[in-house]
């Protein structure tokens, strides 16, 4: 086991609260599954803020930021049946990881949290 990358991000929830009123912003930044899953959430600004921070933290862990083919809406933050968040690796993300780290055998660990004013995310990429 080897740590390949670490990323962290914190965001003011008020920034996202303003931005999510714009449908173009929503579709450019968030995946379809994230938008669908938000329908049953009462505090949408914190919901989307945590996911935004997770996307930023993931891009930092990969070491590329949002360039070289990595787009915000390629990264989907989903939860398992117990509520544990994870990043769903689609084909685009797998290709970026393979190109950067020369392996697909990577575990992605994600922790997200929020409070009234801020949301934070922490990502670790570990070689299996």
22-45 pLDDT, tens digit per residue, is 999 999 999 999 999 999 999 999
Nearest Cα residue to 123 out of 34, 60, 80: 60
Distance CA 96, CA 118 (A): 29
9-23 pLDDT, tens digit per residue, is 999 999 999 999 999
Q: Domain residues for 42?
A: 2-127
Q: How large is the average pLDDT for residues 100-117? A: 94
Read off the CATH number of the domain in which 81 is found: 3.90.470.20
66-77 pLDDT, tens digit per residue, is 777 788 989 999
Structural domains counted in the chain: 1
Q: If you search the block for the tokens 């803020």, which residue do you land on?
A: 49
Task: Output the pTM of the full model.
Answer: 0.93
Cα 125 to chain centroid distance, Å, stands at 13
């Amino acid at each position: 086991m080897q740590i390949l990358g670490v990323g962290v991000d914190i965001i003011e929830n008020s920034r996202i609260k303003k931005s999510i009123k714009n449908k173009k912003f929503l579709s450019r930044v968030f995946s379809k599954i994230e938008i669908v899953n938000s329908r049953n959430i009462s505090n949408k600004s914190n919901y989307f803020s945590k996911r935004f921070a997770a996307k930023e933290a993931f891009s930092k862990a990969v070491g590329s930021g949002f360039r070289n083919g990595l787009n915000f809406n390629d990264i989907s933050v989903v939860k398992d049946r117990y509520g544990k968040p994870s990043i769903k690796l689609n084909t685009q993300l797998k290709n970026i990881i393979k190109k950067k780290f020369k392996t697909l055998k990577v575990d992605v660990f994600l922790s997200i949290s929020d409070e009234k004013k801020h949301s934070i995310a922490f990502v670790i990429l570990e070689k299996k």
